[in-house]
Structure 1
């Protein structure tokens, strides 16, 4: 009998994408390691079979090491079939009003944290020939006022993911980035007290966008999760687009006559990666 597949998902707080992904993977007979900084915020997943809760702040090495130990102990053979970097920090602020320490913390969570997590779990993923999934954002492909720093952090991890995909392909690991459009989520609830460093006539407008009350239609969270899990089960690699308006952003920003396979072949030429496995 084949061992049960395993997935670790970051950022599984109630009402968000991570929680929906955890529930969907559990329905597909995976053992799910659902993680969050605060275990009390994962009540929606309580009582589900084959779900293990782990405390994980992706910027804390001790938390990452403890998660590796827990996964290794559960599987016995130190493997992980899928690692999903979903935890992140949303952010709204005009560039000229940015606090640079805030921007540094934003990149620590949205960019450095996922890289650290991937490096740490790489041995388990290699053993399983598993998949790494990064939840990216359509904002990284657009120039949206007040979201410049956030968009830069999400686009940056997407570039890293595309490079990683080429680097680990010869070793049997797949890498998928999910460019995410508008999805129903509680991810913007912590902007209730949004304010600018100085008084501005457009502050109410920015606050409304930050709090998700802009009236834009959003994809149902479970519908989004099902699409992502389908991609993982089909072992899709590269970039996929899900969520409200994602297809429109894709059409308007990625038009090219050169197929991805040709781009990849040119990128690895002469790097030594093209010789591995020959």
Structure 2
């Protein structure tokens, strides 16, 4: 079943149940928007299809899959799309000195190139409706999230890309919102975790690294539904002049989730604040102590 006449439409990537994408689908649906939910395995979307949402298979790292989805959406909506939410993402927790470049490339294919490919492919439908693009980024884009250098870099790329995309699409009436997500309950940390190589310089604090793997799900973590309610409310808010958007209308930057307010405030004080907090929060002072003890033992020999 397609959208009703005059009904707004939203296409969301990465909608597997249990994650942010799924929660956004449910919230947009509750607000009367026709939801087009996508996932690499469409079988996981059966619950949403039963509720009246449209479901399509989509792999944002596959050009042909994107083309097929664009064709299907264009046919469904009559060549228009009101909102595109680039939510599909991949976590990547590993020390910078232990990374595998093929693994890094796979993360960038999903987190960065997939976003770019979707925006390019669906720009025509968004222009026709003077629509809205929402790119799900992360506080990691501006936070020195220890052992998350690859993930931080991918989300940093999304924020920089989005800032320029915003200006390029402004003449066509298309808005770009960046969601700076803090710690939010999701499936992103539930996948198989990377392990430290035997020769890693961080083997001496292996427990600290292992705790970091699920940090986002255990520190001021906001429930997925709460995050979705706030984001959808902003996405559907009326337009306001630039200087008032952050308070009343659809903002260019949406901050929500655990730690979001604190990180936003810290950006005004200087990056040293975040460096100081994250270094201690993750436990790097502990590593300093271990290294000092190793040096002491060497001198005793």
State the TM-score bracket (shorter-chain normalisation).
0.7 to 0.9
Query: Which range moves more in the overlay, 142-151 or 193-202?
Result: 193-202
> What pairs up with 1:26-37 in 2 under 5 angstroms?
26-37=29-40
- 2:236 paired with 1:233: yes
Question: Does structure 2 conserve the Cα–Cα contact (< 8 Å) formed by 1:19 and 1:44?
Answer: no
Residues 84, 255 of structure 1: alpha-carbon distance in 2 compared, 3 angstrom cutoff: farther
Following superposition, the deviation at residue 167 of structure 1 comes to 1.3
What SS does structure 2 have at the residue aligned with 1:163?
A: helix
Corresponding position of 1:131 = 132
Corresponding position of 1:265 = none
Corresponding position of 1:264 = none
Provide the C-alpha distance between the structure 1 equivalents of 2:172 and 2:49, rounded to a whole number of angstroms.
36
> What pairs up with 1:110-259 in 2 under 5 angstroms?
110-191=111-192, 193-198=193-198, 200-212=203-215, 215-234=218-237, 235=239, 236-254=250-268
Query: Which range moves more in the overlay, 210-219 or 14-23?
Result: 210-219
Q: Under a length normalisation based on structure 1, what TM-score does the superposition of the two structures give?
A: 0.86
Query: Which range moves more in the overlay, 129-138 or 193-202?
Result: 193-202
Corresponding position of 1:103 = 104
Provide the C-alpha distance between the structure 1 equivalents of 2:197 and 2:72, rounded to a whole number of angstroms.
43
**Which of structures 1 and 2 has the bigger CA Rg?**
2
Following superposition, the deviation at residue 107 of structure 1 comes to 1.1
What SS does structure 2 have at the residue aligned with 1:190?
A: coil
Residues 213, 182 of structure 1: alpha-carbon distance in 2 compared, 3 angstrom cutoff: closer
Question: Does structure 2 conserve the Cα–Cα contact (< 8 Å) formed by 1:91 and 1:210?
Answer: no
Q: CA RMSD in A?
A: 1.8
Following superposition, the deviation at residue 213 of structure 1 comes to 7.7
What SS does structure 1 have at the residue aligned with 2:180?
A: strand
Aligned length: 253
Residues 173-212 of structure 1: CA distance to partner in whole angstroms, max 9, x if unpaired? Answer: 0000010001111211113x43112251323322222134
Please, which runs of 5 or more residues in structure 2 have no aligned partner? 240-249, 271-301
Provide the C-alpha distance between the structure 2 equivalents of 1:132 and 1:82, rounded to a whole number of angstroms.
6
Residues 224, 109 of structure 1: alpha-carbon distance in 2 compared, 3 angstrom cutoff: same
Residues 27-72 of structure 1: CA distance to partner in whole angstroms, max 9, x if unpaired? Answer: 11111110111123335534212x1111111010111111111111
Provide the C-alpha distance between the structure 2 equivalents of 1:165 and 1:237, rounded to a whole number of angstroms.
12
Provide the C-alpha distance between the structure 1 equivalents of 2:174 and 2:217, rounded to a whole number of angstroms.
39
More helix by share: 2
- Segments ≥4 residues shifted beyond 6 Å: none
